[in-house]
Structure 1
Amino acid sequence: MKRLILTRHAKSSWDDPTMADHDRPLNERGQAAALDLGLWLASRDYVPQEVLCSDAIRTWETWSGIARGLPEGPVLALKPTLYHAGPDVMLAVLRHAQADVVMMIGHNPGIAEFAHRLVARTPPSPQFTRYPTGATLVVDFDTPSWAEAGFGQGSPVDFIVPREIAA
């Protein structure tokens, strides 16, 4: 059994319109949401053992906030190929994962499409279609190896957006 925690980065700052997209940090709301996500994950014992993350600033800042809410945190593996990656690239990266519980942090529109293609059935949340900032899907795969994971094989366990945590 393998578990994937698939998270879109938290809300980023648009304060500097001249800043390169790759370099945009989280805004205050995004920083708070990332910590909330970490606390939510810990409260449900969804603790990643390996983190595969886009190398954009807003994604690794999202992980940093999430990690503060977890009892322990794995080493972050920054993956430049995950920056605005599509589903096929994301699956290829995931297939090289080593741990049983993997977190992947990325960007829309690729991460939303990846989430939709991974699951055999969609979670009941109306937010799943939009996959807004901070959206997090927990999905299990009945496979002994990530190398065998594929589209349509995932069983959704949980889905949350940061706004629902504070509610």
Structure 2
Amino acid sequence: MKTLGLFRHAKSDWNDARLRDFDRPLNERGRTGAGLMGLHIRHYGVRWKRIIASPAVRVTQTIELAARAAGQMPPLNWDRRIYLASSPTLADLLREQDSDPASILMVGHNPGLEDLIFDLVPDDGSSPLRDEVEEKFPTAAFAVLELEIDAWSQLSDNCGRLKHLMRPRDLDAKLGPQIED
């Protein structure tokens, strides 16, 4: 059994059109959400044996703020392949992990993270959390999957169960979708 955590970067700022997508920082709502989710991830209780993350600015800021709020900075492995990667690319990256850590937290982007959940968790009606992800895996969302594998190299479609899903709006309604007046 392996445990996979997926943490999407927090809400980013689109105000500076001169910035490359890779260089977009978090906006104020994103900074608040990142800290709140960092506390939640810490209290969830999994000790992540390995953390792999996209080096995009919005991801690095999400991790920095989440770690600061949680009072701990975990060792990180930055991997540019996570930046805007598809689900198959993310799965390949997980299959490459050496020393078979019991748990991995991957921090990155959509649609890849969301699609990875869809690929790993069967669409058989048994997972209400999967149904929630189908609605949306928003910025700063955190999901935990249990995988029926002994080694990361065995990762395959439909090998997982979605055990946990938390979004910033679940912890603070002000961080939910903005309603226009």
- In structure 2, what is the Cα distance between the partners aligned to 1:6 and 1:34? 14
Give 2:63's aligned residue.
63
Letter in 2 for 1:151: D
TM-score, reference length from structure 1: 0.91
- In structure 2, what is the Cα distance between the partners aligned to 1:69 and 1:49? 20
Closer, same or farther in 2 for the Cα pair 1:126/1:144, shift >3 Å? closer
Q: Is residue 77 of structure 1 aligned with residue 77 of structure 2?
A: yes
Give 1:114's aligned residue.
116
Q: CA deviation at 1:114?
A: 1.2
Gapped regions of structure 2 (runs ≥ 5): 174-181
Name the Cα RMSD after superposition: 1.7
| 3-state SS, counterpart of residue 51 of structure 1 | strand
- In structure 1, what is the Cα distance between the partners aligned to 2:156 and 2:164? 19
- In structure 1, what is the Cα distance between the partners aligned to 2:155 and 2:130? 24
Closer, same or farther in 2 for the Cα pair 1:6/1:41, shift >3 Å? same
Aligned length: 167
Q: Is residue 143 of structure 1 aligned with residue 149 of structure 2?
A: yes
Q: CA deviation at 1:7?
A: 1.4
More moved, 141-150 vs 77-86: 141-150
- In structure 2, what is the Cα distance between the partners aligned to 1:38 and 1:62? 9
Asked if the contact 1:48–1:73 (Cα under 8 Å) also holds between the matched residues in 2, the reply is no
| 3-state SS, counterpart of residue 70 of structure 2 | coil
Letter in 2 for 1:115: I
Q: CA deviation at 1:72?
A: 4.0
Gapped regions of structure 1 (runs ≥ 5): none
- In structure 1, what is the Cα distance between the partners aligned to 2:169 and 2:131? 13
- In structure 2, what is the Cα distance between the partners aligned to 1:73 and 1:156? 26
Q: CA deviation at 1:49?
A: 2.1
For 1:23-62, list aligned pairs within 5 A: 23-62=23-62
More moved, 122-131 vs 52-61: 122-131
Q: Is residue 154 of structure 1 aligned with residue 151 of structure 2?
A: no
Closer, same or farther in 2 for the Cα pair 1:6/1:149, shift >3 Å? same
- In structure 2, what is the Cα distance between the partners aligned to 1:34 and 1:48? 18
| 3-state SS, counterpart of residue 88 of structure 2 | helix
Pick from 121, 125, 133 the counterpart of residue 128 of structure 1. Answer: 133
Q: CA deviation at 1:127?
A: 4.1
